[in-house]
Amino acid sequence: MSQPLIFSLIDKAVFDYELIKDGDKILIAASGGKDSTVLVEYFSNRIRRPDCNFSIEIVHIETEITKSINPCLSALFSKWNVEVKNVKVDVLGRLKMGHKMSCYWCSTQRRTELLNYAIKNGFNKIALGHHMDDMLETLLMNMLEKAELTTMPPLLEYEKYPVSIIRPLCYVQEATIVEHAQKSGYISETCTCEFVENGFRKQTRSRLEALTEGDPVKKEHLFKSLKNIDKNYLP
């Protein structure tokens, strides 16, 4: 039986960027959303292959303002023979006097806990569920706001920590994930936090759709252009 298209795209990203190597101990961040769930499904299948030579663990960072993993989704994980460990973080309690709560602060604290957990438990890689659309949106946001040609790389090797970040969904567009999630019956959850301030990202998402006319091929070309840079024709 052939595997889903989305798994083939992830396999290609893993091969092209050498995201998985022998002996890797990979921590998978599960938020409860469709993106990280497809990542969990992929790895739950990947570790059953005869040539599997790495190990995984799944962790969910729970805060006062984010939900725990939906019981139905936990049951689905169990069906895939994987379990999720909850790590609780007091995000609001860490907020300094006079500072405003924001998505950036929350995500920074959750990422810090992922790093701490990974280092403490001997993981050398953390797998995140950012897909191609996320990376292209970040590219446009950084260009417009920071005047930087930067985005989320498929492989980020920290200089200060013995841990790398991998993004195996870098070749997968959000529409592909939505279609796969619907067919697989994933629980769909989004952040409903009262502090959410993602207006600029939503605007950028609309700009990306307008720029590419919603054409997946044009999105692929935009992504590939990041690896096809001719400095002779840049300032």
**What average pLDDT does the segment 60-88 reach?**
87
Q: Measured between alpha carbons, how far is 75 from 69 in angstroms, rounded to an integer?
A: 10
CA dist 22 and 133 (Å) reads 29
The H or E element that residue 191 is part of is none
Q: Which two tokens stand for residue 193?
A: 């936090």
Tokens 């050498």, residue? Answer: 18
Distance CA 138, CA 140 (A): 5
Mean pLDDT of the residues in the chain:
89
| pLDDT score, position 167 | 98
Q: Identify the CA nearest to 128 among candidates 6, 37, 192.
A: 37
Q: Give me the count of residues in the chain.
A: 235
Pairing of strands 125-127, 25-29: parallel
* DSSP secondary structure letters along 148-215: ------SEEE-SSSS-EEE-TTTT--HHHHHHHHHHHT--------TT---HHHHHHHHHHHHHHTT-
For the segment 143-168, the average pLDDT, to the nearest whole number, is 95
Beta-bridge partner residues of 57: 27
- Whole-angstrom Cα distance, residue 92 to residue 70? 22
Average pLDDT in the 64-73 region? Answer: 80
Using CA atoms, how far apart are residues 138 and 132, in angstroms rounded to an integer?
10
Give pLDDT tens digits for 76-89. Answer: 999 999 999 998 88
* Domains of the chain listed by start with CATH number: 5-132+153-196 (3.40.50.620)
Four-point Cα dihedral 6, 10, 16, 19, nearest 10: 180
188 within 8 A of 151, measured Cβ to Cβ: no
The mean pLDDT value for 49-76 works out to 87
CA-based nearest residue to 181, from 189, 192, 170: 189
Q: Which tens digits make up the pLDDT trace of 92-120?
A: 667 677 666 666 667 777 888 899 999 99
Closest by CA to 62, choosing from 113, 11, 123, 2, is 113
